[in-house]
């Protein structure tokens, strides 16, 4: 049991220690809001797309593509998204609150926190498979987010042209689209491009985690609403338990099960705050959900990995 606790600590602690460094660096005024904003844009538009491009371009799709696993993740995400939405109907009347609540409860920070955890949990070998899942998950997250941030606020009037543009020209989605031909046709990039890209890719996860820490405002935790706490519990407790149990029942084990647990257990994505703010939802509620899930997932993910490891499932 002690070995499993140490194993779990070694997986989870590095990721959240980097987030803690970002938080305390901001408190000590080593970094500021401008640094967080600029680095977040840099990660989102340059280093993370490069990271995704390199990982997917190196994949052998015939070996890495597991359609059953991706279908389960799609089904689990979509069904729980709809259930959360229907569940809010009797309780949340304000459309701005409803949109932020639903987005916060379903949209995970898999691209940053998830990939970092999987790298620690299973090594770089599993990152290829994990990144390919990200390639499928990103468009789904964006489509569902646009829908839930549009229908309640605009009474069903969706600008399909704008929505499609936002989804297709998302830098992370573009990276996936550009990388797939290289993977499918096994096109080898020149070494100097790989080396240069690797430098940018290596910045992605640590810089993003520092940015998450720098964006946290613990003082707001005291003022977090019941809605923020409820959405957070759904995101990091209810969904991981239900969807991981079903995955176990369906026979998933080892790295497949571990990756799926991380997908469902990740804290809420920072992009949910940006989209809520831009599209007129309750951005304060969105920010509080991100903060609560990020702090709470330190414990929920650690407990989940510990239990899965103790029962020999991963």
Q: What is the pLDDT of residues 22-41, one digit of tens each?
A: 999 999 999 998 998 888 88
Q: Rounded CA gap, 301 and 263, in Å?
A: 11
Chain-wide mean pLDDT for the chain?
88
pLDDT band for position 73 (50/70/90)?
A: very high
Share of the chain above pLDDT 70, in %: 95
Q: Which two tokens stand for residue 309?
A: 């490891």
Per-residue pLDDT at 76 exceeds 60: yes
Beta-bridge partners for 108 = 268
Per-residue pLDDT at 156 exceeds 60: no
| Residue pair 280/153 in contact by the 8 Å Cβ criterion | yes
Phi then psi for residue 170, to 5 deg, are -60, 125
Q: How far is the CA of 303 from the CAs of 81, 128, 240, 248, 287, in angstroms? A: 24, 25, 11, 17, 25
How many CB atoms lie under 10 A from the CB of residue 272?
A: 29
In this prediction, residues 112-141 reach a mean pLDDT of: 87
Per-residue pLDDT at 289: 93
Give residues with Cβ within 8 angstroms of 235, minimum separation 6. 104, 105, 106, 108, 267, 268, 289, 293
Q: Rounded CA gap, 146 and 166, in Å?
A: 9
pLDDT tens digits along 216-240? 877 777 777 899 999 999 999 999 9
Q: How far is the CA of 196 from the CAs of 192, 193, 208, in angstroms? A: 6, 5, 19
Q: What is the reported pTM? A: 0.85
């Amino acid at each position: 049991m002690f070995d499993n606790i140490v194993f779990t600590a070694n997986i989870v602690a590095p990721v959240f220690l980097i987030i803690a460094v970002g938080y305390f660096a901001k408190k000590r005024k080593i970094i500021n809001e401008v640094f967080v904003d600029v680095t977040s844009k840099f990660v989102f538009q340059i280093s993370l797309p490069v990271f995704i491009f390199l990982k997917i371009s190196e994949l052998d799709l015939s070996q890495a593509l597991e359609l059953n696993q991706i279908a389960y993740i799609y089904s689990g995400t979509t069904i729980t998204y709809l259930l959360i939405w229907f569940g809010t109907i009797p309780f949340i009347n304000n459309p701005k609150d409803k949109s932020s609540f639903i987005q916060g409860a379903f949209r995970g920070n898999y691209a940053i926190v998830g990939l970092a955890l999987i790298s620690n949990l299973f090594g770089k070998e599993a990152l290829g498979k994990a990144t390919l899942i990200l390639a499928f998950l990103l468009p789904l997250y964006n489509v569902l987010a646009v829908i839930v941030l549009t229908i309640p606020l605009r009474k069903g009037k969706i600008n399909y042209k704008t929505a499609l543009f936002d989804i297709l020209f998302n830098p992370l989605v573009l990276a996936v689209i550009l990388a797939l031909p290289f993977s499918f046709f096994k096109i080898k990039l020149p070494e100097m491009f790989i080396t240069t890209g690797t430098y940018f890719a290596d910045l992605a996860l640590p810089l993003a985690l520092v940015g998450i820490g720098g964006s946290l405002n613990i003082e707001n935790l005291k003022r977090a609403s019941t809605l923020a706490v409820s959405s957070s519990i759904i995101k990091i407790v209810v969904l991981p338990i239900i969807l991981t149990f079903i995955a176990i029942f369906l026979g998933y084990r080892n790295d497949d099960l571990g990756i799926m647990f991380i997908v469902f257990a990740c804290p809420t994505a920072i992009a949910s705050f940006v989209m809520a703010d831009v599209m007129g939802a309750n951005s304060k509620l969105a920010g509080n959900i991100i903060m609560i899930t990020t702090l709470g997932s330190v414990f929920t993910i650690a407990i989940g990995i510990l239990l899965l490891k103790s029962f020999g499932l991963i």
